[in-house]
Structure 1
Amino acid sequence: MLDKPKKRLAHVNDASSCTFGTEEEARKQRILRAADEEISRIFKEVDARAARTSEQSGKAEPSGDFTPADDTAPGSQEDKPSPSAMRSGDNAAQADNPHSGRDPDRNEIDNTQSGTKAAEITNSTGTKGSFHRRLGPVDFSKSLTAGLSAVRKNMLMVLLFTNASNILVLAIPIYLFQISDRVLTSRSTDTLIMLTIVIVGAVLLQAIFDAIRRFILMRTAVEVAAQLGAPILSAAARASLHGTGREYQTLGDLQQLRSFLVSGTLLAFLDIPFAPIFVLAVFLVHPHLGSIVVLSALLLTLVAFINQRATAAPFGEANVFQSKANLHLDSMARNSQIINALAMIPEAVKIWGQDTAGSLKAQVKAQDRNIVSAATSRAIRLLTQVALLGWGAYLAIQGHITGGMVIAASIIAGRALAPIEGSIEGWNQFILSRGAYRRISTLLRSSPLNLERLVLPKPEGRLDVERVLYVPQGTKRVVLNGINFSLRPGDSLAVIGNSGAGKTTLGKMLVGSILPTSGSVRLDLMDLRNWDQRQFGDNIGYLPQDVQLFPGSIKANIARMRDDVDDQEIYQAAILADVHEMIATFPQGYETIVAADGSPLSGGQKQRIALARAFFGNPRMIVLDEPNSNLDSAGDAALARALKHAKQNRITAVVITQRPSLLQHVDKILLMTNGTISMFGRREDVLRALAAHQAGQLQNGPLAAQLP
């Protein structure tokens, strides 16, 4: 890149009010440099000891000490760097070597091999990069497994406290039984006091155990969210490239799981296994009473089954309508300016209202059935209490049991049936949570990010597009057909053509945003689908036709929202894109805060900031889609200088444009017509052919000039 001194941006740019550095950041930098120096010293000592050991054994080995990049010409160093040099030396190498950029391999070296030296290769441009090394897959399914493991582990503790809590629930029936059959008959105050003290202790202990299990479930929900939040968002972001955007709603599914883990429905499910114990206790009082409880439990189970079958379809329909309504809300938020400017609010609200009405209608249908089931189960439980008390009184009259036993059996039966009733009332939440888990599992297990990738050397920028055909999913319209061309490292290409010719689609395909239906797009001979996504993104720049900035500072937007980059890299990207002087005119400079819509920046300023973002990190290939659509004459001049900088730094550039002013700054031109290539070749050849065509001198048939 540029031959700039390695220093903080605040020192480069004091006069322009672009102050990044603070005393706290400077102190952190000094600490980091001291730590790197100490680590380097330790590795050098280890290497020196290894060398002495090798000499003593008669086997000479290279020391592997790192020579700073500013002492050695780029590309001339043949020694392999030590692990410390891989961390601390790449910044110095980047300042001296205009083609080195940032190390594309940002992944950690395996801890078990941290003492080994990473092999390097020298490419044709004299730069060096890490040799081919296998990178393990992200494997989001491991995150899902870790989340499930956390749930299972914590559930064991919850079940332990649930067991104790349910046993202590028997304290009240036993207390009533003892008072009715022992205290009242013996009129013993001492017995009453002793029983009361014991029961009060049992009740307090039961309350403590119940609170503890709720605490554990709450923390389990938080742990699940922490384990799955980032993987779900990453997988959704990747899947949304080829989806409808609903993948992001999987984060709402995670919220549904969290709600279920802290809900009373889950507690009811956890209490159900103890219902047979309570039924057995009622059987011990009298078999007739136990039979009544069993019959009631069977009736409640039947009601729950009917409720599930009756509400599954309406709840699913409601979820579909609600998802569509949420997508429409997102669209309204993104296009709020257009909606207000064109007075489209009534129509937008109408569309949202139709989807919402469909969701509410289905919900009402499902909830009506759920309410009927809940009322039926509650009636069954109350009738069970009546039957127990009535038949128990009859048995007491006959002398089979006592009055205290009747009351105790009634309370125990209520405790046995309560979890079943609670499960019926919360069955809808269980269905929603089960569906949410299935969607999360499908998203994480099927993500293409799970596939293993090979970490490659930093690319040179060679681009090969081979027989590309693209038909959007769900349609039969051919957008791209038979696209073939190649670019050498450092080449610049202008893609021109009428609207709808497929230029923007081709640009998206070159950066991996969409994948070809058939054919391949290769960077340095490797298909884009086989590049590690992080490494590929580090080595390309992209300026889309619809420029979007993220809420935050200009500095963060240029740095692609990363917080682990040096300010010098941001400065170099701004210089490459020729926007540093523009940023310097802002009152807060690089710390100027922009909103999601880019305000307070103008359209041209947004486009130039996005251009700097495309140049960030010294990419080897940039794709610019209509980069001058919002630029004035000064912006056009800055864009021309940026393309010149790209040429000087051997950055392969693809510019999609409809303006002839950019054609003089490229090497080759590609003319597209209806998704096919009409002309491709050197700028002079294509311009001559276009001029001949306009003059009526071009014979029939497309010209496809070949690369020299």
Structure 2
Amino acid sequence: MSEPRSELATAFRRLRWVFGGLALISGVVNCLALSGSIFMLQVYDRVLSSRSEATLAALCVLVVLLFGFQGLLEAVRSRVLARIASQVHAELGPRVFRCVLALPLRSAIEDDGLTPVRDLDNLRNFAAGPGPSAFFDLPWMPLYLLFVFVLHPFLGLLATAGALVLVGLTVAAEILSRRPQRVLAAQNVQRISLGLAGRRNAEVLRAMGFGERLTARWLRLNDAFLAEQRRAGDIVGGLGAASRVLRLLLQSLILALGAWLTIRGEVTAGAIIAASIAATRALAPVELAIGQWKSFVAARASWRRLAGLLQALPPPARPLDLPPPVAGLAVEQLSVAAPGQRRPSVRNVSFKLQAGQGLGIIGPSAAGKSSLVRGLVGVWPLLSGTVRLDGAALDQWDETALGRHIGYLPQDVELFAGTVAANIARFEDEPDAAAVIAAATAAGVHGMILRLPDGYETEIGEGGEALSAGQRQRLALARALYRDPFLVVLDEPNSNLDAEGEAALTQAIRGVRARGGIVVVVAHRPAVLVGVDLIAILRDGALQAFGTHQEVMRGRRQPGPARNGPPLAVVEDRKAGVQ
């Protein structure tokens, strides 16, 4: 059974009738391109011998019209190719960007994560450029060679030999450019990754003075990248120069051969010029293809990466809309791994929560707490097990519909450039102003927002740079509470909060429980656990204890097997004063 056609191929295949029209236009253009050769043949062999000015005038008018029509058709072809490129880009753009958003949740990202978007741009730029025109013209090379053969077989053989040499140069460009392009792609990823790491840690580099050493590392990578880029450019540039010189040489050789044949009386003087023009036109698409080979290789690599990505991340099927969850959360034998990893960071965790309950997850560092909550909200892949809301597994929900019922505050808070209100409303097209204010009030940030320069319409900048760390965290809490989601998951929500912020956080947790929602909180500081009624202790990715405060502090382990004696996490939390 043949493999299913990629989405890229399908997008272009839907335009096959347009490509058929372009092929027809290219055929007419290439037939009209013979006008120059035929014109010169007629001028030298008919007009000069007859000395007829009327014939010359008629030929001039005709050739002007033919060349004008040819130019019009080439302009139409160029505009159609540009519109094809734009249409495919517009059709696949949303799909590719969704893959950009999903890719970090499926595998480790080595570069800035926007390679698929750049790949789509590469395809659009190549499709809208002169490269496709060269490929449309290549099948018409035999027409020009046949025309030269008609003038004289020796001229045709010489033109064919030149065409074969140029085709050989094209094949050489393909073979010699493969490895440099692969190396360039890998080196570019390393270069970009190091640059992004430096940008993220600019404060650390400046404060501790090792920015110069990081710059030296980047320069070594950049020098290697530039050296490989020069090698690749030398290959394509050298072959391009060779093709141009060969075309000029071939033109001169055809003139010389034509002159010799004219001396022998085998061709007319007009045939010399006509053969030279036709041979040059025959070789032009090959020369253009060699000149565009670098763009073609880059576009082909982009095609392969995009096709593989779209196949690896197929669009999810639209499931049946489920009613909003109101009853409970069930975690069944859950094992979670980081994207791109097979080793689980959380293993075989099971528990249940009912509406109105709050769970605090505690444990030593690297116990798997953040991994667990990422599995709960469906952002990290599940190796095994299931997370259910009212009995329905998370994958039975439409992603957008599910997000309406989940509020998530990650450990590393990220906000987006825009207004305070837009960030709280999750950038809805038509946000509910009352719901925005209600979420801010529930998070205890309504007063803080009103003190900002423009209140809810204050622009916070990229990443929320206009706000302090505590303000960003509280604003992200309001975003998590927007429209009263059923499940609210908070990962270290008090890491940047002062006493006032912690009090507001506790009140927000109690508010979610009071309205019948479920709250899951990861905490190192015990103050936030005042608002929850259940405690879970993780150690080495396994659930060591689960129950009420009193049950956990007495060392009762629910569920399941654990080591003899109280878990280490319980001892640590007793020392920390968790009640």
TM-score of the superposition, structure 2-length normalised? Answer: 0.91
Give the unaligned 5+ runs of structure 1: 1-139, 691-697
Residue identity in the other structure for 1:370: V
In structure 2, the residue matched to 1:652 is 518
Q: Is the 8 A contact 1:461 1:620 kept in 2?
A: no
Maintained 8 Å contact 1:318/1:358: no
Aligned mates of 2:505, 2:569 — CA distance in 1: 28
Superposed CA offset, 1:89-123 (max 9, x none) = xxxxxxxxxxxxxxxxxxxxxxxxxxxxxxxxxxx
Following TM superposition, by how much is the alpha carbon of 1:181 offset from its aligned partner in structure 2, in angstroms? 1.1
1:427 to 293, 312, 317: 293
In structure 1, C-alpha distance between the alignment counterparts of 2:314 and 2:151, rounded to whole Å? 61
How many angstroms does 1:703 deviate by?
A: 10
Instruction: Say yes or no: does 1:390 pair with 2:256.
Output: yes
Number of the residue aligned with 1:679:
545
Superposed CA deviations along residues 459-478 of structure 1, whole A, max 9, x for unmatched, are 12522222223344666755
Amino acid at match of 2:52: S
The match for 1:293 among 153, 156, 159 is 159
Counterparts of residues 215-234 of structure 1 (less than 5 Å): 215-234=79-98
CA RMSD, aligned part only?
A: 2.4
Q: Which amino acid aligns with 2:248?
A: L
Counterpart-to-counterpart distance in 2, 1:341 and 1:224: 47
Match of 2:320 in 1: 454
What residue is the counterpart of 2:330 in the other structure?
Answer: 464
Among 362, 369, 386, the residue aligned to 1:520: 386
Determine whether 1:358 maps to 2:224: yes
What's 2:346 paired with? 480
Cα shift at 1:493: 0.3
Distance 2:19 2:467 in 1: 52
Instruction: Answer whether contact 1:679 1:704 (CA < 8 A) is retained.
Output: no
Is 1:184 aligned with 2:60?
A: no
For the residues of structure 2 that align with 1:335 and 1:523, how far apart are their CA atoms?
Answer: 39
Alpha carbons of 1:475 and 1:587: their partners in 2 closer, same or farther (altered >3 Å)?
Answer: closer
CA distance in 2, matches of 1:343, 1:147: 51
370, 374, 378: which one aligns with 2:244? 378
Q: Give the corresponding residue for 2:65.
A: 201
Q: Name the aligned partner's letter for residue 225 of structure 1.
A: H
Q: 2: distance between equivalents of 1:333 and 1:551? A: 18
Decide whether the 8 Å contact of 1:471 with 1:477 is kept in 2.
yes
Asked whether the 8 Å contact 2:32–2:66 carries over to 1, the reply is yes
Higher mean alpha-carbon deviation, 261-270 vs 322-331, is at: 322-331
Which residue of structure 2 lines up, in the alignment, with residue 158 of structure 1?
Answer: 22
Aligned to 2:423: 557
Tell me if the contact between 1:396 and 1:402 (Cα under 8 Å) persists in the aligned partners. yes
Aligned to 1:665: 531
Residues 387 and 475 from structure 1, CA distance in 2 versus in 1: closer, same or farther, beyond 3 angstroms?
A: same
Q: Does 1:599 align with 2:471?
A: no
- Give the structure 1 partner of residue 449 of structure 2: 583
Matched, 1:700 2:579: no
Could you tell me which amino acid in structure 2 is paired with residue 196 of structure 1?
C
Gaps in structure 2 of 5+ consecutive residues:
557-562, 571-579
Give the direction of change, closer, same or farther, for the CA distance of 1:334–1:449 in structure 2 (3 Å limit).
Answer: farther
After superposition, the Cα gap between the structure-2 partners of 1:636 and 1:369, relative to the gap in structure 1 and judged at 3 Å, is same
| AA partner of residue 429 (structure 1) | S
Q: Which among 181, 185, 189 is matched to residue 323 of structure 1?
A: 189
Quote the offset at 1:595 in angstroms. Answer: 1.2
In the alignment, residue 523 of structure 2 is paired with which amino acid? Answer: T
Give me the identity figure in percent: 36
| 1:542, distance to aligned residue in structure 2 (A) | 0.4
CA distance in 2, matches of 1:555, 1:347: 42
Instruction: Supply the distance in 2 between the matched residues of 1:333 and 1:290 (Cα, whole angstroms).
Output: 61
**CA separation of 1:530/1:351 partners in 2, compared to 1, >3 Å: closer, same or farther?**
farther
Pairwise CA distance, 1:227:
0.9
Q: Provide the rounded CA distance (Å) in 1 between the counterparts of 2:84 and 2:46.
A: 45
> 1:262 is aligned with what amino acid?
A
Matched, 1:625 2:454: no
Q: How many residues align?
A: 559
1:573 is aligned to: 439
2-side partners of 1:441 and 1:281: how far apart?
42
Report how far residue 249 of structure 1 moved. Answer: 0.8
The answer on whether the counterparts of 1:681 and 1:704 sit within 8 Å (CA) in structure 2 is: no
* Maintained 8 Å contact 1:240/1:248: no
* 1:498 to 1:702, Cα distance in 2 relative to 1, 3 A: closer
Identify the residue that residue 444 of structure 1 maps to in structure 2.
Answer: 310
Alpha carbons of 1:565 and 1:335: their partners in 2 closer, same or farther (altered >3 Å)? same
1:170 and 2:34 are equivalent in the alignment:
yes
2:78 to 211, 214, 238: 214
Matched with 2:559 is none
Structure 1 residues 229-281: Cα deviation after superposition (integer angstroms, max 9, x where no partner):
11100022112212233553110001111111122222211111111111111
**TM-aligned CA deviation for residue 655 of structure 1:** 0.5
Q: Does the aligned pair in 2 maintain the 1:556–1:563 contact within 8 Å?
A: no
Normalization by structure 1: what TM-score?
A: 0.75
| 1:452 CA displacement | 5.0
Q: 2:284 is matched by which residue type in structure 1? A: A
Alpha-carbon distance change, 475 to 244 in structure 1, aligned in 2, over 3 angstroms: closer
Point out the more displaced range, 177-186 or 240-249: 240-249
In 2, the alpha carbon distance for the partners of 1:153 and 1:364 equals: 40
